[in-house]
Structure 1
């Protein structure tokens, strides 16, 4: 075998190896085998009903109704709650794992703000920087059992507030939440249930929330 042929075969083998490595790295970056969850919360008394939350993952697959129902919210008696602003490290809220999905690219949410009442929708684009955080394992101390573990920020929590505000955090069971986005949604002109329920909202406002809002109003500028 001539030196030329031997060199050509080595170069071809090296090129194939480099291409294989690049493909594996690209595949690893595009896939996320750790499950992630989607949850929703709302400020005290500002009760919310989620009509649908649809997810588009980075492989352009659509997961409809990945979230729906009542958002997590406190309704303390005797007006002792504090609806203005957001907690420093909010939890995920009410939700569940988005089964079978890769990391999210887009989340569409349509919800009823029962405190106003009004129906909103928002398109939440998840930046690549947020997905990089979700992929990265972190050492975390869990106060519940006093142990150090390796954890992921695999919980996406979305806070929904009057005025169409949607605020998005990444967190984990033993990790502090990180804010990644804030979106101002738009009014859905079809109204509650896309106009299929004669303008009726999914639930009446609770007596505690109604009493608070009648006395103190809604702190729109705090979110």
Structure 2
């Protein structure tokens, strides 16, 4: 698996830089977001995108995945959400719809560094191109698109992927098992040191542990 991911990285590099091109989607840009369960802090080192025209968008997303940290251990990180969250992220401006998304992240409660390649099949891209009438919570009726990809990262290196859009019910499209990056955090450039865990999350983990079984 680690070799397959390395091969994917080489393909990214050989594909070259982004350039202007016609897009196959009916909107200007799609969004990429990440989330994590309560207290299960994640730092995304990089999320690189290759679109269906083989253009590469390095670091399309990096930084903190969205997560809640209620005080006094009142949050519950167990299990997958009934409604997939798109999470925090940004628009992948200039890109066509995705072919693959390469992600390397730190799971701070373990701590561990993971990497994976999320392959986006044509069936998912069709969902992203399809317009759909829906009703927002305000009562407004709109015609929209599922123009966002949300990835939820949990300890143990498991990820679930949804596509969603404004006022639309997210649709789960994939579950991916990552591999441990043997180089460690920051590709081995930090002396094995991960980013620090917050005191709120540390207190939860020290009392309750990490609920690995809830994400199987």
> Which ranges of structure 1 fall in alignment gaps of 5 or more residues?
1-27
Match of 1:75 in 2: 69
1:199 and 2:198 are equivalent in the alignment: no
Q: Is the 8 A contact 2:46 2:105 kept in 1?
A: yes
Match of 2:151 in 1: 158
Match of 2:181 in 1: 188
Match of 1:221 in 2: 213
> Which ranges of structure 2 fall in alignment gaps of 5 or more residues?
1-21
From the two aligned structures, give the one with the greater helix fraction: 1
Structure 1, residues 80-120: CA drift from partner, whole Å, max 9, x if none? 11111111113211100000111101000000000100000
Which of the numbers 70, 86, 89 marks the counterpart of 2:83?
89
Query: Could you tell me how far apart the structure 2 residues matched to 1:222 and 1:184 are?
Result: 15
Match of 1:17 in 2: none
Match of 1:136 in 2: 130
Question: How many residues align structurally?
Answer: 193
Match of 2:204 in 1: 212
Which of the numbers 177, 189, 204 marks the counterpart of 2:170?
177
1:31 and 2:24 are equivalent in the alignment: yes
Match of 2:161 in 1: 168
TM-score relative to the length of structure 2: 0.87
Q: Is the 8 A contact 2:33 2:151 kept in 1?
A: yes
Q: Determine helix, strand or coil for the equivalent of 1:50.
A: strand
Query: Could you tell me how far apart the structure 2 residues matched to 1:128 and 1:33 are?
Result: 15
Query: Could you tell me how far apart the structure 2 residues matched to 1:77 and 1:58 are?
Result: 43
Question: Which has the higher Rg, Structure 1 or Structure 2?
Answer: 1
Q: Is the 8 A contact 1:33 1:102 kept in 2?
A: no
Give every structure 1 segment of 4 or more consecutive aligned residues whose post-TM-superposition deviation is greater than 2 Å: none
Q: Is the 8 A contact 1:165 1:182 kept in 2?
A: yes
RMSD of aligned C-alpha atoms? 1.2
Q: Determine helix, strand or coil for the equivalent of 1:74.
A: coil
